[in-house]
Structure 1
Amino acid sequence: MSEVCIETDLLTRQFGNKKALDGFTLRVPRSGIHTIVGSNGAGKSTLFRLLLGIDTPTSGSCHVLGRPSQHLTSKDRAQIGYVNEEHTLPEWMSVSSVMKLQRSFYPQWEQDVFNRTISYFDIDPKQKVSGLSRGERAGFSLSLALAQQPKLLILDEPTLGLDVVAKQSFLESLMLIGTEQDAAIIYCSHQMEEIERLADNLILMEKGRLINNCSPDEFLSKVTAWTVDFDGRAFEPENIPGFLTYKIIEGLHHIVVADQVSDTNFASLLKLMGAKFVQSMPVNLENAVNAYLTRNHNKPVELS
């Protein structure tokens, strides 16, 4: 059995003149929580459609659980769980009726997992889906997905629009129950506090390309922030290796860069450029990711 659950090779999906995915190559192992982050239009939705076999690639390949995604069988699909931001469920049915219907489709269904997960959300089994709050719908969707015992669980912005209490319940149940299962979890989110709590791996996408795939700690170690006083001299970011972004606060340049050999060498470079004052600053994951995805140039700086 392959050690990866998702494998894409030069995966490309083109719509007219636009490439939603552009030579996207990714390997995801069969365990752990892998978070996907990218700006709007990065290609995340297209990637999920291809993984689920809803769409077909223009070129390249896409394998899920060892099989080409466009040829997934019903048995393969039974091993894939999916929860989207809308938490689409049959409105006219009761919670217990939906659960029984879902259970009939999955031979590996584990009722204890469903009961444990849904207990985080205080949901009445007799209640109709139409009467559930957004947080309850999210919890119900997660309970259904985990109970089917998937080998791959895809969560696409599952906490979007949830209040603090509902979000906490969702994350706790996922961490305590979801991580007990022998499965890979793909978690798409823009919420950095969720990513910091959950992620074993941080996958960054930009304009249909993979630009980072490593642990959050490893990614953060490659990004550094600096406060610099150029004392009125012109600042030329194109001369700074690995430049990501900057802003000026009270006359000081706050610069974020990637992949510097050493802090000492970089500080020396800034001084050669005319800096009168140079100081390294701490940078958190949210600032590092935002700087990387909004950097002020067109050519990507690859984090290796």
Structure 2
Amino acid sequence: MTAPLASGARMTMTDPTASEYVIETVALSKRYGHKLALDRLDLRIPRGRIHAIVGANGAGKSTLFRILLGFLSPDAGQARILGRDSRRLSPEDRGRIGFVNEEHTLPAWMTMSAVIAMQRSHYPRWSQAAFDEVIGHYHVLPEQKIRELSRGERAGFNLALALAQRPELLVLDEPTLGLDVVAKRAFLESLLYGNAADDCTVIYCSHQMEEIERVADNLIILERGQLKHMSAPEEFCARVTHWVADIPFRGPEPGTVPGLLQAQRLDGLHHYLVLDQDEDFAEFLRAHGARSAQCMQVSLDRAINGFLAKDHAAPARS
């Protein structure tokens, strides 16, 4: 599924009983004083797979999640989660949604077994098998108190609790923030290779591009509260290329370079990160004095950072 970089088409909300989307927003807006956190956001995320939402700080991701989960009301527009108006979620609706954030907040004085018993009583679809499958990636004991767990173990415990609910939608908001390499690997493996996650749609928000590249089936880029791009990660990477040109003088003015995201000169060579350019770009460089021009593929991290840096440098809408 691919969306244009800046969609001007206005969507209409679908019938919730027939929706194929886990998340739908139409002209969703939220302002904090003079700051516009969400700017008439139109977003549709289909059921199934792992969808990664990325964006620079202040792109609107946290505000979007708070509205979708019913913790915050929008100033304008509509938001639905699992076909339900996010402002009118019932306890049954919330039981269909799992949520893990970066804080991994749990009652420190309770034992793991007590927390499990409490969760089992709240979720009628509880699956002990799903819990056991995920927690098996961690060396923890039921009698341990939450305060005795490392940050990585708390992250794994939270994920196990969320998946044991058997949710239709699992929202992961920076779940590996602050974890060491070993803990991150354990978390990702328990998410990717556990059968418990197969039956739910996952929304994964992270600044760690190596995680996004590993887990995501669909990449969603937000900037200044708007949808800027949606596609498979490999499709997005294919659109961004890095060209190295040997130009013996200044080279073309940045404003004339088609699809330019970033430009710099290193060791006498001109480096251009560009969007949606093919071999015609080599001809453009040669026409501006390049003695040679080489195209290289880029990593997802480089592609996203270049794309966001270009958009972030653009003047803000009033």
Identify the residue that residue 110 of structure 1 maps to in structure 2. Answer: 127
Equivalence map 1:16-165=2 (5 Å): 16-165=33-182
CA distances 1:77-110 after superposition (whole Å, capped 9, x unpaired):
0001100001010111000000110111101110
Residue pair 2:130, 2:195 contacting (<8 A) in 1 also:
no
User: Structure 2 counterpart of 1:294, which letter?
Assistant: A
Match of 1:217 among 216, 228, 234: 234
Residue pair 2:130, 2:196 contacting (<8 A) in 1 also:
no
Residue pair 1:146, 1:178 contacting (<8 A) in 2 also:
no
Identify the residue that residue 302 of structure 2 maps to in structure 1. Answer: 287
SS across alignment from 1:221: helix
Equivalence map 1:184-263=2 (5 Å): 184-260=201-277, 262-263=278-279
User: Structure 1 counterpart of 2:168, which letter?
Assistant: K
C-alpha spacing 1:83/1:178, structure 2 compared with 1 (3 Å) = farther
Residue pair 1:228, 1:278 contacting (<8 A) in 2 also:
yes
User: Structure 2 counterpart of 1:129, which letter?
Assistant: I
Residue pair 2:251, 2:289 contacting (<8 A) in 1 also:
no
Structure 2 stretches lacking a partner, 5+ long = 1-17
User: Structure 2 counterpart of 1:266, which letter?
Assistant: F
Aligned residues: 298
Match of 1:11 among 6, 28, 34: 28
In 2: Cα distance, 1:82 partner to 1:178 partner = 18
Residue pair 1:32, 1:179 contacting (<8 A) in 2 also:
no
Residue 299 of structure 1: CA displacement?
A: 6.2
User: Structure 2 counterpart of 1:168, which letter?
Assistant: R
SS across alignment from 1:121: coil
Larger CA deviation: 138-147 vs 22-31:
22-31
Structure 1 stretches lacking a partner, 5+ long = none
Match of 2:314 among 295, 298, 302: 298
C-alpha spacing 1:238/1:178, structure 2 compared with 1 (3 Å) = farther
SS across alignment from 2:222: strand
In 1: Cα distance, 2:160 partner to 2:103 partner = 15
C-alpha spacing 1:60/1:178, structure 2 compared with 1 (3 Å) = farther
SS across alignment from 2:227: strand
Residue 281 of structure 1: CA displacement?
A: 1.6
Question: What TM-score does the superposition give when structure 2 sets the normalisation length?
Answer: 0.90
Residue 15 of structure 1: CA displacement?
A: 1.3
In 1: Cα distance, 2:189 partner to 2:25 partner = 31
Identify the residue that residue 267 of structure 1 maps to in structure 2. Answer: 282
SS across alignment from 1:227: strand
User: Structure 1 counterpart of 2:243, which letter?
Assistant: W
User: Structure 2 counterpart of 1:184, which letter?
Assistant: T
CA distances 1:129-171 after superposition (whole Å, capped 9, x unpaired):
0111001000000000000011110001111111121111111
Residue pair 1:113, 1:146 contacting (<8 A) in 2 also:
yes
User: Structure 2 counterpart of 1:283, which letter?
Assistant: V
C-alpha spacing 1:179/1:213, structure 2 compared with 1 (3 Å) = farther
CA distances 1:240-262 after superposition (whole Å, capped 9, x unpaired):
121101222102111111122x2
C-alpha spacing 1:53/1:180, structure 2 compared with 1 (3 Å) = closer
In 2: Cα distance, 1:173 partner to 1:32 partner = 16
Identify the residue that residue 11 of structure 2 maps to in structure 1. Answer: none
SS across alignment from 1:203: strand
What RMSD, in angstroms, separates the aligned Cα atoms of the two structures?
A: 1.5
